Amino acid sequence: MSEDLQTYANGALIAGINLSVQFGSQQVLREINLSVPRGQTLAIIGESGCGKTVLLKTLIGLVRPSSGRVEFDHGDISQLNERALTALRVRYGFVFQSAALFDSMTIGQNVAFPLRQHRSFSPAEIEEIVHERLAEVGLPDSIVEKKPAELSGGMRKRVGLARALVLDPELMLYDEPTTGLDPIMSDVINELILRTRRRYTVTSILVTHDMRTARKVADRVMMLYPLARRGRDESQVLFDGPPSQLERSEDRLVTQFVRGEARDRLMEMRSEGDLAS
């Protein structure tokens, strides 16, 4: 690793250095450099297929990089075995796109699951923590005995957030936290993300298509672009900076995505279809 890249990673809670990921013949990420200081909230945006979720999973060891390395708290996690990675992930909280609750468990059992797996608390202590975390995300005690199927999508998302918080994580990761929610419930989730950062002083990384979410909760935004439409010498990262600078970007691909303008993309897709035929 070059001295410049090592300096880039120093001071960060988590960093990806020259990260590349390839599945068979398909390269998804190419030489991504990413450094997230403690306490910062980073939003990763970009159209479908650009590698956002793959990057998120690579940063926590769910996907192994084809080349490059991931550092967490100054330690290289790329070389850790599964047992060591499992122990390290206790320091992470992950909010999945679909909430990923266990359908056969009650809400209380879902939220308590990480505590029972990784802590030695008494049943009374676990119950108290479960109620505290549910209250923090605005959910009443009355849902503790319900099953996930009995809740709305927004409530399941909040249960997922409560479960992610029970171990007091240092790093929170959100995969499309507002997907499938109406505008009001989406903003409720945004407010909870902001409240979580203030209350726990966590470092956060979220993957999102929702520009309102990116602008509201992020200190910094990184935009990725699909490698299939980039030249060999072109960076996959189109933007990396504060949300306030997105609209001022001189890269038309950035402004088109941010404004939701599809005309050029439709023409590109038509051209691709003509070539294919």
Q: How do residues 219-270 score in pLDDT, each as one tens digit?
A: 999 999 999 889 888 999 999 999 999 988 999 999 999 888 766 666 565 6
Give pLDDT, residue 82: 85
Any bridge partners for residue 26, and if so which? 23
Decide: helix, strand or coil at residue 206. strand
Task: Please write the tens of the pLDDT for every residue from 122-136.
Answer: 999 999 999 999 999
Q: Would you say 115 and 166 are in contact if contact means Cβ atoms under 8 Å apart?
A: yes
pLDDT score recorded for residue 261: 76
* 8 Å CB contact between 157 and 181: yes
The domain that holds 76 is classified in CATH as 3.40.50.300
Q: Over the stretch 138-159, which tens digit does the pLDDT of each residue have?
A: 999 999 999 999 999 889 999 9
Pairwise CA distance, residues 15 & 71, whole Å? 5
Mean pLDDT of the 34-54 span = 94
Considering the chain, what is the average pLDDT of its residues?
Answer: 88
User: Are 161 and 202 a contacting pair, CB within 8 Å?
Assistant: no
pLDDT at 6 over 70: no
How much is the pLDDT for 83? Answer: 87
CA atoms within 13 A on the CB side of 239: 27
Structural domain total, the chain = 1
Average pLDDT over residues 162-176: 93
Three-class secondary structure of residue 29 per DSSP: strand
What was the pLDDT predicted at 8? 52
Statement: residue 48 has pLDDT above 90: no
Model-level pTM? 0.87
Contacts of 243 (CB under 8 A, 6+ apart): 43, 214, 215, 218, 220, 221
Residue 250: DSSP 8-state = S
Q: Report the amino acid identity of residue 90.
A: V
**Average pLDDT score over residue span 88-98:** 87
**Band of pLDDT at residue 5, cut at 50, 70 and 90:** low
CA separation for the pair 190, 218 (Å, rounded): 10
Give residue 62's domain range: 3-276
pLDDT of 272: 59
